[in-house]
Amino acid sequence: MAPELTQEEILRYSRHLLIPEVGLEGQEKLKAASVLIVGTGGLGSPIALYLAAAGVGRIGLVDYDVVDSSNLQRQIIHGSERVGQLKVDSARQRLLDLNPFIQIDTYNEVFSSQNAWQIAEGYDILVDGSDNFPTRYLLNDLAVLSGRPYVYGSIFRFEGQVSVFDARKGACYRCLFPEPPPPGEVPSCAEGGVFGVLPGTVGTMQAAEVIKLILGIGEPLIDKLLLFDALDVSLQSVRLRKNPKCRICGEQPEITQLIDYEAFCGVPARDVHAGLAGGDLDLEPVEILRRLQQGQALQLVDVRDPVEQQVSTLPGAVLIPLPELMQRLDEVDRDRPVVLFCRTGVRSVRALRLLAAQGYSQVYSLKGGINAWADQVDPTIRKY
């Protein structure tokens, strides 16, 4: 039996109560519902805010990060006063201020195959507010194995995607994407950027799908993938089909338990702020400065996108964006040490591995990228 609304709640949700598709009965369903949101960043912010405002009775928040000033361009659940605070605590504080009549549970940890079952226990719907492939496959598989819907969203620059995967009624995420893309082929938002309002649009769509599922109204995006482009405000809907050979929801499933998703995707399920090449291949900024001051003929190669040079650059560096590297190998010197750098060291590590595979023996990565150079060597360089 759904919990009854108090008089205060009736006043708060009165605009819902006027809608025949919601009404008092529907609002009580919202109060009785529980939703787990993995990620309290760009997507998680609008998802959590609108579900809290709508009166979803129990909301779980999973994140492992702290609020950074670079988050605030799009992660609207946080504020300047909460920089340095745990994201789940910052989000919880904001949500309870928005609606003190709901329950907010927080999980300050990386969502993984080791803890997913325990964290997700008792939640009706799983919602993706993450930004990485390991978490998407983990949420999908958990949803399939536990018989729950998974509300999916993803964003990059000006484009977003939304869908509802429910293997009991249609396709799952693996039906659409059986295998993840090769590591590094699809840059993260931290590397490629994201239009600030885009996660607000996509996350609000995800919240709408969650509410529709709870209320049992409308047509959820089951077996549909919605594509949104903010530049021309276009929406496309792609029909999906359940794959009978899907490894987890097909006729003869091979996957019957959660796996190691970081190994499966070849990338970590957490942001990497400073890439690590391993061994002696990572050079600290002060070490590179020392070698330059000693007169060593280092070649500095900037593997960022050209637009990033508008913010910062290193004198004498050659700009070869990572996507162009294999076509411009003739510009990379084989006869002297090469130091690759990007913003934080992630792309430079990828570039190093590409060059090493081509026989380059003197390639290094600037540990922490140009932002670390600004911290340790030249504070006049602007960080971003």
Active site residues: 189, 342
Q: What number of other Cβ atoms are within 10 A of residue 157's Cβ? A: 15
Contact 50, 204 (CB under 8 A): yes
Q: N- to C-terminal Cα distance for the chain?
A: 52
Name, in order, each residue with C-beta under 8 angstroms of 101's C-beta and a sequence gap of 6 or more. Answer: 6, 8, 9, 12, 55
Burial class (CB in 10 A: 0-12, 13-18, 19+), 233: exposed
**How far is residue 55's CA from residue 339's CA, in Å, rounded to a whole number?**
53
**How far is residue 104's CA from residue 91's CA, in Å, rounded to a whole number?**
9
Q: What length does the chain have?
A: 384
Q: Give CA torsion, residues 8, 10, 16, 19, to 10 deg.
A: -160
- What is the sign of the dihedral through the CA atoms of 164, 170, 176 and 178? positive
